[in-house]
Amino acid sequence: MALTEQQIQEIKEQQSQENSTKRVTSPELEKILYEAIPILDHGFIRVIDYMGDDSSIVQAARVSYGKGTKKVSTDEGLIRYLLRHWHSTPFEMCEIKYHVKLPIFIARQWIRHRTANVNEYSARYSILDKEFYIPTEDKLAAQSKSNRQGRGDILTGDQAQEVLNILKDDSTRTYQNYEKMLNERYDGSVIDENKDGLARELARMNLTLNSYTQWYWKTDLLNLMNFLFLRADIHAQYEIRVYAEAMIETLKKWVPITHSAFLDYRVGAAHVSSKGLQVIKSLLNGNEANFEKSGLSKREWNELMEVLEKKDLLI
């Protein structure tokens, strides 16, 4: 990860601020506020701002439930109850804002989560950074033979090196052409004083999708957890998963009680269909599991057996 001198100075100035407030704060999150957490080769996330903490969730829940909730013994018990039973509205009372630097092809996957406020760096006004995501060799994999959107075996040897060379060469060449069309280099110098550069909004279309972009991404706690549940999953694409995993760590610092309940009832939980539940009940009663009678598809059956660690029943 490379930060410009201007970004480094901005972070120092932000972290040196001392503001008094009557609002709730999260001490552990305050410690890393504005800090750039490195992701991939040139990316990062930064927590820029937030509103609320675990107590804000409890406060909102007790307003909606009325006096009866005063009998709840602890905030932790209430938060875990809310998350366990999908009472989601109180979690919307907390918000967080990230500054994210990420490859464009991951940004296009990320933006599919249409539950946030986003403001992206504009290549119509500014020149994009001369930085590209190049995977490490152990992340170069063939197409999965069983999953159209997944990865298979890792490429090795000459084939892996050939792919890396193509990625590096294409990125470098297209950026050089980008500068040529702009008639301006990344450092701001003009290439040819006798030529006009192409408009930035047009020149950008030649760049590769592994170029880096940046945005501010603000969302509420409920939708953040929905995002993390999908993108921190082992089946998610590696390049977006590492961002999600880093964001889970910021979640822990921000709302530790909610984070613990989220790991228990979402990340570490299994969601079973009614037919799958019947299979589990049958096994608990000492009966043999029967795929043909289960009514499950082959994929559903295997997913359930994986969860139950019944490898001998995979088909």
Nearest 5 degrees, angle CA 54-CA 56-CA 61?
105
The reply to whether 140 and 284 lie within a common domain is: no
Q: Helices 221-231 and 238-254 sit at what angle, rounded to 10 degrees?
A: 140
Neighbouring-strand partners of residue 39? 43
Nearest to 119 by CA among 138, 97, 144: 97
Average pLDDT over residues 124-142: 92
Alpha carbons 99 and 39: distance in angstroms, whole number: 12
**pLDDT number for residue 66:** 53
The reply to whether 215 and 252 lie within a common domain is: yes
Average pLDDT over residues 175-184: 95
3-state DSSP call for residue 42? coil
Residue 82 has pLDDT above 50, yes or no: yes
Are the beta carbons of 213 and 131 closer than 8 angstroms? no
pLDDT for 203-255, tens place per residue?
Answer: 999 999 999 999 999 999 999 999 999 999 988 999 999 999 999 999 999 99
| Least trusted range by pLDDT, from 138-147, 172-181, 264-273, 286-295 | 138-147
Q: Helices 274-284 and 298-307 sit at what angle, rounded to 10 degrees?
A: 50
Residue whose structure tokens are 């084939």: 159
The reply to whether 66 and 119 lie within a common domain is: yes
User: Would you please indicate which residues are annotated as catalytic (active-site) residues?
Assistant: 231
The reply to whether 217 and 231 lie within a common domain is: yes
**pLDDT number for residue 84:** 94
Total domains in the fold of the chain = 3
Are the beta carbons of 78 and 58 closer than 8 angstroms? yes
Question: Could you list the residue range(s) of the whole structural domain that residue 167 is in?
Answer: 135-206
The reply to whether 95 and 170 lie within a common domain is: no
